[in-house]
Structure 1
Amino acid sequence: MDFILMLTRADRTVSDCLRALDAVADAGVRHIGFKDIGVDHATLKELASRIGDLGATSYLEVVSTGREAALDSARAAVDLGVDRLMGGTWVEETLPLLDGSEIAYLPFVGDPIGHPTRLGGTPGKIAADCRRAEAAGCAGVDLLAYRTTGDDPLALVRAARAATAGRLVVAGGITGPAQIEALAAAGADAFTVGSALFDGSVDPNAATLAAQLAPILATTATTGGGH
């Protein structure tokens, strides 16, 4: 699996995102993302550029569960020049906004609600959404498995894996190695961690962001993925 470092906390880009990126620049993280709220557009523009300079793949994850704001996020992704756009549920309206760019789109599956976002939807609903996203030409899907309001998170992951050959990214609520190992076994291609790194949940004894990253990177390596 791939590890996507999200420079976010509580579904917002952290205010010191540029400094945070500098702090982990030598860690070898190859996938780095952020949200489109929390800092101004100019800062996001610089952040995306710096991620590219590191040779890493950049991700913008949509925060809004409203149509117009989500489509505005897609437009922002094009302007920022990120590599991948995650989130949002308006697939047929989002994809044309990305025409002419090289941005790969991975929409939310299920029923995302609120902020910070929670996930409604049964395994059957998740699977159906995965099939629709793949048929529409999306590169994969964004599954908020550990933010589910009901079903077993891993049941949702397995349902998604069975329904799509696209890239399956599990985002939100991941705090440590046990979940990462379970996701690998269930068939996820990638996972994100953000808040848990910035609030110290991964390792309460780690004093720096780089130290918080250590167990995540070590576990990722043992699951057969890169950073």
Structure 2
Amino acid sequence: MSFDFIFMLTRNDRTVPDAMAHAETALALGLRHIGFKDVGLPERELALLNARLRAGGATTYLEVVSLDAETELRSASVAAAIGVDHLLGGTRAELVAPVLASAGIRYSPFPGRITGHPSVLEGGVEEIAASAARLAERDDVHGLDLLAYRHAGDVPALMRAVCRATPKPVIMAGSIADPGRIEAAAASGAAGFTIGTAALDGAFPGAGAGLTDQLSAISAATRRAAGAGAGAGGAGARPG
């Protein structure tokens, strides 16, 4: 099973103004899982960005950070209009899933209680795992997007519990900024993880601050973690 690094063209839960330039860097390095948020750029620019990524052979992800029903539904409509492959996040599957299903878009919502911006995951491990299991029972939910390191509790235990709660792929999102967290995600059985801010800010350890060095280091850490995870029982199904 694969364990994928999804490069997010985002900083602090917003798509960055120079996302297109960063997308070209990522594509040139061979990255093929690339995403962005539903805030930070106007819809027209998000559409152009998505089109370029898909033309470059990437699976594209739009992650929702909306907190109210109206804006979350609008974000789903944007995802359908610009033609992303996969919508991540959001908490209202009953509203969003039908919109995405009609557009042929895969859907991985957030389990648990999400508050604030940047988003924070609240609740106990058992509560979040139960939320994950309920969401994953829906045929129009294809996986889950877990804000693991935005949770104040035992994060490795949380990741393992959510991955055990469903056979559907779980993507770990938010505040993953070092090889140890990537390894923990792989060991939990995750299908992949997202990194945006850390790479764009040159914060991933053991690499130069430039984006090419950062993405190369994260990709290498992903391969190491995937190998270790497979030896320990494997990661989940491919997110894309």
**TM-score with structure 2 length normalisation?**
0.90
In 2, Cα distance between the equivalents of 1:23 and 1:29?
A: 9
Q: What is the identity, as a one-letter code, of the residue corresponding to 1:98?
A: L
Tell me which amino acid in the other structure corresponds to 1:84.
H
In 1, the alpha carbon distance for the partners of 2:184 and 2:134 equals 26
For residues 137 and 11 of structure 2, the distance between their equivalents in structure 1, rounded to whole angstroms, comes to 33
Matched, 1:141 2:150: no
CA RMSD, aligned part only? 1.4
> What's the counterpart of residue 110 of structure 2?
108
Q: Indicate the residue corresponding to 1:186 in structure 2.
A: 188
Give the SS at the match of 1:55.
coil
**CA offsets 1:64-114 (integer angstroms, 9 cap, x no match):** 121111111111100010000011111111111113222110000111110
Q: Which amino acid aligns with 2:23?
A: L
User: Do 1:176 and 1:215's aligned partners in 2 also have CA atoms closer than 8 Å?
Assistant: no
Q: CA deviation at 1:204?
A: 7.6
CA distance in 1, matches of 2:207, 2:170: 31
Structure 1 residue 122 displacement after superposition: 1.1
Q: For residues 88-107 of structure 1, what are the structure 2 equivalents within 5 Å?
A: 88-107=90-109
1:47-58 alignment, distance < 5 Å: 47-58=49-60
CA distance in 2 between counterparts of 1:128 and 1:43 reads: 37
Aligned to 2:11: 9
Q: 1:67 to 1:98 in 2, by over 3 A?
A: same
Q: Is the 2:38–2:75 Cα contact (8 Å) retained in structure 1? A: yes
Contact 1:13 1:37 in 2 (8 A): yes
Displacement over 2 Å in runs of 4+? 223-226
Secondary structure of the 2:23 match is helix
Aligned partner of 2:76 among 70, 74, 77: 74
| Cα deviation digits, residues 111-132 of structure 1 (max 9, x gap) | 1110011110211111111111
* 1:56 partner amino acid: A
Higher mean C-alpha deviation, range 63-72 or range 53-62: 63-72
1:24 partner letter: A
Instruction: In structure 1, list runs of 5 or more residues that go unmatched.
Output: none
Taking only the aligned residue pairs, the percentage that are identical comes to 45
Q: Is the 8 A contact 2:133 2:165 kept in 1?
A: yes
2:143 maps to amino acid: G
Partner residue in 2 for 1:165: 167
Count of matched residue pairs: 225
Q: Is the partner of 1:109 in helix, strand or coil?
A: coil
Residue of structure 1 equivalent to 2:86: 84
What is the distance in 1 between the residues matched to 2:75 and 2:193? 21
